[in-house]
């Protein structure tokens, strides 16, 4: 056993949240901070080229390559669950979309009993994180560590937006503006054609600080306790077991899969589960690993009438060279786009208060995510339900920290979710049949024109549906007995331990999750630093 020294704060996981915590907690120079990351440095060139995310889906060097257990409502299929295993975590391998969610999402968190988490409460943390290309206003910030940028117009995207308007939906040039509803272009966490992960935006400027130590390729194995107080972290680093001590606090930033995993490995979680794997129950918490939520999607794929898609670029050596030169010289072109180019947020029922489905409009097609693109012109429109009712679990399979946890998403287990997905697919078909986009459609390949009835749409979802990569809520925040953390993200019943990542979300936000996770980390850091200023008796 090796002594890993003592710190004021230990942050476990250098992902979307962990890099933010490490930078903010070390900024004053007063606190010694240790950041532990199981993955390596973010040197892979495809991390930094936006379109390169497609090459990272199956790369074990930067991706945990998780998958679910067989899903009962999806005919026993396992669904991929990629997660970043590198500095920056999933912010280094995601599709780069900057979407906060709806005001109503955060107001709902507050209504559930989480003081300080209404939209008005969290907006300052969104703004202080943001370096918005369009400049600051009441809803946006400028000068923050996270670059947020516009994309170039594209004729297919313009056609999709126009088709949405023809179908009766408004154009929306800012999904993070006063209202989310409508069709438009997504903004990306990028600047000058390069990804802005939290490793690049937050951690890189902080690496030279003498009070910040970053240990990569270090797998956290358990939290160390003295009674009910967390006092350190044990981790494996280059074949050695190391124990680092925390004089102040430990904060878990492993995400929806790894934060509950390390809690369970440390004896914090459902008692029967822990005992079944020979782990001493230090603190019984049935909610650890419960309430898993994720966005489920189906993809409508189209053969295009014109050679203006990414498929065409990648099918031609000449076009590949042109795209590479355009990117190298101008930082523009196909290599600079993310997972969603255009898209929108729509109501499947006009009587709804806010959108309940989201479309990602993407300029390429493939048999599945991360696979080789089709050799013909193609584009797709994926539809996902924003606020699913289905709930799953994340449970360790053994006491071995190197074994992936059992992920059971239970997609489509709620009848409500099945109904909304079918309504969303019918809405997608309606938009994609409008004249503005129909001129570009040579053929609907999937689900195909033979799929017409509700039963056929649902069968297609069960056969082909997959994740949008937004798992949350496995260490849920709340005042109830099954909640894992309180409104200050402190693990209930324990001292010196917090969780600050997507796992604490009381409910899934209505959109991509990365922006909200960064906000959570910003707010967590502010709360921790405020608590550190209090006299010991007051704390």
Query: Which residues form the catalytic set?
Result: 470
Rounded Cα gap, residues 419 and 385, in angstroms: 10
- CB-based contacts of 504, cutoff 8 Å, min separation 6: 473, 475, 476, 477, 484, 485, 489, 520
Question: Which residue from 154, 149, 99 is spatially nearest to 470, judged by alpha carbons?
Answer: 99
CA 335, 358, 471, 190 dihedral sign is positive
Rounded Cα gap, residues 202 and 205, in angstroms: 6
Rounded Cα gap, residues 489 and 508, in angstroms: 17
Q: How many other C-beta atoms are found inside a 10 Å radius of the C-beta of residue 449?
A: 8
Whether 498 contacts 252, CB under 8 Å: yes
Rounded Cα gap, residues 269 and 272, in angstroms: 9
H-state helical runs in 116-226: 119-129, 155-166, 198
Rounded Cα gap, residues 46 and 61, in angstroms: 12
Q: Count the alpha carbons within 13 Å of 137 in the hemisphere toward its beta carbon.
A: 8
Q: Count the alpha carbons within 13 Å of 190 in the hemisphere toward its beta carbon.
A: 30
């Amino acid at each position: 056993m090796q002594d890993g020294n003592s710190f004021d704060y230990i942050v476990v996981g250098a992902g979307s949240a962990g890099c933010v915590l490490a930078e903010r907690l070390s900024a004053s120079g007063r606190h010694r901070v240790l950041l532990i990351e199981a993955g390596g440095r973010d040197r892979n060139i495809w991390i930094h080229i936006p379109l390169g995310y497609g090459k990272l889906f199956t790369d074990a060097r930067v991706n945990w390559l998780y998958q679910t257990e067989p899903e009962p409502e999806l005919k026993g299929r396992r669904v991929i669950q990629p997660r970043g295993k590198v500095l920056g975590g999933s912010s280094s391998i995601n599709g780069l979309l900057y979407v906060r969610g709806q005001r109503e999402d955060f107001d709902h968190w507050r209504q559930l009993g989480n003081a300080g988490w209404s939209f008005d409460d969290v907006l300052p943390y969104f703004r202080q994180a943001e370096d918005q290309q369009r400049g600051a206003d009441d809803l946006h910030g400028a000068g923050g560590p996270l670059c947020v940028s516009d994309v170039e117009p594209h004729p297919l995207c313009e056609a999709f937006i126009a088709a949405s308007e023809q179908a009766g939906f408004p154009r929306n040039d800012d999904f993070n503006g006063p209202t989310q509803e409508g069709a438009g272009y997504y903004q990306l966490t990028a600047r000058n054609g390069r990804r802005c992960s939290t490793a690049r935006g937050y951690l890189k400027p902080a690496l030279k600080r003498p009070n910040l130590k970053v240990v990569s390729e270090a797998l956290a194995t358990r939290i160390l306790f003295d009674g009910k107080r967390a006092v350190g972290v044990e981790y494996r680093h280059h074949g050695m077991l190391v124990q680092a001590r925390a004089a102040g606090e430990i904060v878990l930033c492993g995400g929806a899969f790894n934060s509950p995993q390390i809690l369970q490995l440390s004896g914090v979680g459902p008692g029967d589960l822990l005992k079944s794997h020979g782990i001493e129950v230090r603190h019984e918490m049935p909610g650890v690993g419960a309430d898993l939520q994720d966005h489920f999607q189906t993809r409508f794929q189209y053969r295009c009438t014109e050679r203006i898609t990414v498929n065409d670029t990648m099918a031609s050596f000449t076009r590949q060279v042109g795209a590479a030169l355009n990117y190298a010289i101008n930082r523009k072109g196909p290599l600079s786009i993310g997972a969603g180019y255009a898209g929108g947020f729509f109501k499947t029922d006009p009587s709804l208060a806010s959108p309940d489905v989201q479309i990602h409009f993407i300029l390429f097609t493939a048999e599945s995510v991360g696979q080789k693109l089709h050799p013909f012109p193609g584009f797709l429109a994926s539809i996902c339900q924003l606020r699913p009712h289905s709930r799953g679990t994340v449970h360790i399979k053994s006491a071995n920290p190197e074994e992936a946890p059992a992920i059971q998403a239970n997609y489509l287990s709620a009848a409500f979710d099945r109904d909304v997905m079918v309504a969303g697919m019918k809405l997608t078909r309606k938009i994609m049949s409008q004249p503005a986009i129909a001129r570009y459609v040579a053929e609907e390949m999937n689900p195909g024109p033979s799929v017409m009835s509700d039963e056929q749409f649902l069968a297609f979802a069960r056969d082909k549906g997959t994740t949008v990569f937004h798992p949350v809520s496995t260490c849920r925040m709340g005042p109830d007995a099954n909640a894992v953390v309180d409104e200050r993200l402190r693990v209930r019943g324990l001292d010196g331990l917090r969780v600050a990542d997507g796992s604490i979300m009381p409910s899934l936000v209505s959109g991509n999750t990365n922006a909200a996770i960064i906000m959570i980390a910003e707010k967590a850091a502010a709360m921790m630093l405020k608590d550190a200023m209090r006299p010991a008796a007051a704390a």
